[in-house]
Amino acid sequence: MKKRTFTFILAICLCLGFVIPASAAKASDLTSGEAASYVHVLNNQPYSFSTLEDLNIDGKPELILINIDESTDSMFEMLDLTVWTIQNGTATKTMSQSISAYGGSALNDVGIARQTGATRIYVSESNPPMNSASYSFYDMNGNGKTYQGEIDLAGTAAIDSLYEELEQEWKFEYLFHGEGGFWYSEENKISDVSEDLHTRMEQASSISSEPNTYTVTGYENDGSFYTIIFEVTSVEKKTLMVTDDGAFTDGRQPTRATLVSVRPGSTIRATGGTTIAPDFSNSDEPGVAAMIGWMDGLNCSMMGQSGANILNGPASKTFRDGNEVYRLWTTDRDGDPIFVHLGEETATVGSFVDVKADAYYADAVVWAVDKKITSGSSATTFSPNDTCTTAQILTFLWRANGSPEISGSNPFSDVSPDAYYYQAALWAREMGLISGSVFRGDTPCTRAATVTYLWKLAGRPSVGGGGFTDVPASASYAQAVAWAVNEGITSGTGDEKFSPDAICTRGQIMTFIYRDILG
């Protein structure tokens, strides 16, 4: 395609480095949420061309959209030019212009004009038959100025005076070019904006928020935000053998991924996202879209781009056949894909159906039952996640120390002689673990209180260190915390915190006692 003379000269200038370089701001300079907001615009705004440019020079790109309206019968086409910027994390339209462009023999450009401290979107039109030329400059808020001029009717190689005059003040970089009713984007200057934004959008957070659950926050293909909370048996890094053509062949490729194993019989909490009904699994219930496939061991056969819903509610609604695997439209913090499948119920220990063999407290529970420190909350349950009370932990400690008989008067006004913890309360008072005339056996036991009881039973040793930001050196439990860390009973709760006021569960208490006694 033949281009006008000034465009050719401009290209030479670009190659020689005379033109001010384009802004470095791109999709990767946006947060995942900001990229998702731009994706939402792309899904709801007609456009023929798109690009990202940092027009206000703040380090984040604006989204520029050009829509060519060729629906009219006249020789003129309408260029609908819009600019979107990020304000408070959301895409906001700052400019909307409808510009008439001659669609016959006219030569049209849309691009970026730069000078020191200023960036503008320009729209140009040169029409040799009409001996006319014009340049309109717009800032990102739509404020504009238009320059009119004439061109050489003879079509010689001379640069027309209007362009030559403007080029002394502005450096041009055209992005979209039109000639004879056809429009083109400049190669190597216009990236696939949609693809770049989707890639950045997919790099959302995925976190484990509490024990035995896995929380994923991300964005669907249209930019809508979602949250899914899975009850899990495991979350682990795996190398999966994946094919995305749906064929059970040997052509699978190894893919490093986060494999989320959902606990059978559990509940999936899926909120937000796009409601799609019916989905690939013939469900008429809404949910969060994902790619579906089937899993056999570590072999995943995905159905290409076919989508299905991860449904809110019982896991059985999502995993109808049991061996389905879903790939979320987001990645984990390492940039690896997240695959979700139905896990297997792990074996339990003893007679307790709620103590899995792979639980961190499993060995402690087995030991405690064997030593008759506890018999569980019922014949078949231990209730490891229930809050542990003062009466319970002191009873556990009393039994772990041989269940000695304590005689004498009852010093506590709230302890009945027929209470199961009566002897434990008297023993704790005698050992100096507690004091006063009120026992308060139903009070939940904190982490600070637990290590203090153990420390006092150990003879109140003096130990330095600790180093937790939430344990003041002057705290009454500071020495106990330092001792417990030194003995390997606990290492804190992470991020240099001990969480002294956190309430202990029965599983945690049994683990503390087990580590203390067995060392």
107-141 pLDDT, tens digit each:
888 889 988 888 899 988 887 777 788 899 998 88
Instruction: Choose one of 172, 196, 220: the last residue of a domain.
Output: 196
pLDDT at 16 over 80: no
Residue 199 has a pLDDT of 82
- β pairing state of 107-115 and 118-127: antiparallel
User: CB neighbours of 160 closer than 8 A, spacing ≥ 6?
Assistant: 6, 126, 133, 149, 150, 151, 152
Instruction: Choose one of 196, 218, 244: the last residue of a domain.
Output: 196
- Domain containing 37 equals 5-196
Residues 65 and 82 in one domain: yes
Residues 331 and 408 in one domain: no
Q: How far is CA 180 from CA 1, 2, 8, 103, in A?
A: 10, 11, 18, 6
Give domain status of residue 305, yes or no.
yes
Q: How far is CA 453 from CA 334, 444, 496, 516, in A?
A: 42, 14, 22, 11
Residues 135 and 228 in one domain: no
Residue 412 has a pLDDT of 94
Residues 165 and 292 in one domain: no
Q: Is 489 helix (H, G, I), strand (E, B) or coil?
A: coil
Amino acid identity for residue 264 in this structure? P
pLDDT at 47 over 80: yes
Nearest to 218 by CA among 198, 203, 197: 203
326-372 pLDDT, tens digit each:
998 888 878 889 999 998 876 677 778 788 877 889 889 989 988 99
Mean pLDDT, the chain, rounded, equals 82
Tally of CB atoms within 10 A around 450: 26
Residue 502 has a pLDDT of 92
Residues 135 and 211 in one domain: no
Residues 179 and 266 in one domain: no
The CA-based dihedral angle spanning residues 440, 441, 445, 450, taken in that order and rounded to the nearest 10 degrees: 100
Residues 433 and 399 in one domain: yes
Least confident range from 331-345, 442-456, 497-511: namely 331-345
Residue 3 has a pLDDT of 33
Residues 314 and 400 in one domain: no
276-333 pLDDT, tens digit each:
444 444 455 667 888 888 988 888 888 866 667 898 889 988 998 888 999 988 888 7
Residues 162 and 219 in one domain: no
Nearest to 389 by CA among 355, 419, 349: 419
Return the structure tokens found at 170. Answer: 């502005």
Residue 347 has a pLDDT of 66
Residue 157 has a pLDDT of 45
- pLDDT: which is higher, 343 or 221: 343
Q: How confident is the model at residue 505 (pLDDT cuts 50, 70, 90)?
A: very high
Answer yes or no: are the C-beta atoms of 133 and 127 closer than 8 Å. Answer: yes
Average pLDDT of the segment spanning 156-165: 65
Q: Which helix H or strand E contains 14, and what residues bound it? A: helix 5-16
Residues 330 and 458 in one domain: no
Q: CA 439 from chain center: how many Å?
A: 46
